[in-house]
Amino acid sequence: MDFELTEEQQLVRETARAFTESEIVARGRDNDRNAHFDVELVAKLAAQGYLGAIVPAQYGGAGLDYLTYGLVVEEIGRGDSAMRTVVSVQTSLVCSSILRFGTEEQKHKYLPKLCSGEWLACFGLTEPDTGSDAANQKTRARRTDDGWVLNGSKMWISIGNYAKLALIFAQTDPSLGHKGLACFMVETEGNDGYQSQEIHHKMGLRGSDTAAISLDDCHVPADAMLGEVGQGFKVAMSSLESGRYSVAAGCVGICQGCVDHSVQYAKERTQFDRPIASFQLVQAMLADMRVQTDAARMLVYRAGALKDAGKPNSTETSIAKLYASEAAVNCANTAIQVHGGSGYVDDHPVERYFRDARVTTLYEGTSQIQKLIIGRALTGINALA
């Protein structure tokens, strides 16, 4: 097994690291403090090619493989999870869905705009009463002479207030269960049936945009469906698998940031006339973070390598997402302990890491859902049945 990155991968990672240090880190704290969605910084992400990293060049993307994409997401996640969220939603949830299920006409229509950042997009699956039970969609789609009419609501939708394109999942026939689900590409501009409202007072990711969406007789043309009726659940699960990979990679970034800042602080901070880095229990905390970071990174690399090889990877992606997200929470908690009182305020980024990391164990499938996926793969038995 070769653990060495190619020269191209090393260059991509170094470029992403330099961009993160010069652009993202400089704005992260203020954007978080002001709950500011930094569209100017999003445009810079787009200019770097990060909003369509895995999309082939023929559709306007950077054409990166998944392992290289994971390197980029890790670096961005180390700087600011709010900006990592933009990359994950735009690239992993939306672009990957259109790339896999869209017609050539749909790909050429939407992917160049999304990759360039001309359009932002959102992924409308979660509802006020529907989270882990993704097949149980209350949003309804009714066929008309010239298309479809959507009615319902979505909740916790990243970039929902800025999206010009929304992937909306809706039930066409409740009697069919998940076989009646469909995914619709809703162009939001000038569409009175699509209304969004910002969700305030979040624990973390304050520099990201989160929306509640209302669909009130929202009309979409017949060619706005992504895939076919009955494929909606498949579209959603495929998208979430890609999204889990990017969340896991971003969590490795959080872990690495915790290690970096904690080591630096421990060498600078003195107590009892010596740096706290010389204390055994402080070194033990640093070591724990390093071990979890390395383990999470290797799990992400494995999932990315399997994706690039075209091999089954659902279980491995769930393992990476489960471990990396829990590791991010643990590392952030430990990093605050190393920093002491200084870690409880946002003068140091570990405070923001802690708040931002917590949600990663919830979205794209909770840690408990990941365990069910892994358990089902081990036993062949669906624990939800």
Beta strand 121-124 with 165-171 is parallel
Start-to-end C-alpha separation, the chain: 38
- Separation of CA 377 from chain center: 24
Mark out the alpha helices in 230-279 (DSSP H runs). 232-268
Instruction: Give the containing element (helix H, strand E) for 148.
Output: strand 147-158
User: In which region does residue 165 sit, left (phi positive, over 0), alpha (psi from -120 to 50) or beta (all else)?
Assistant: beta
Q: In whole angstroms, what separates CA 301 from the centre of its chain? A: 17
- Contact present, 139 and 105 (Cβ < 8 Å): no
Spatial CB neighbours of 281, under 8 Å, sequence gap ≥ 6: none
Catalytic residue (choose from 23, 127, 241, 364): 364
Cα separation of 76 and 250, whole Å? 7
Cβ pair 82, 262 in contact under 8 A: no
Of 233, 192, 197, 191, give the one whose Cα is nearest residue 212: 197
Closest CA to 86 of 120, 48, 137: 120
Active site residue 364: yes
* Catalytically annotated residues: 364
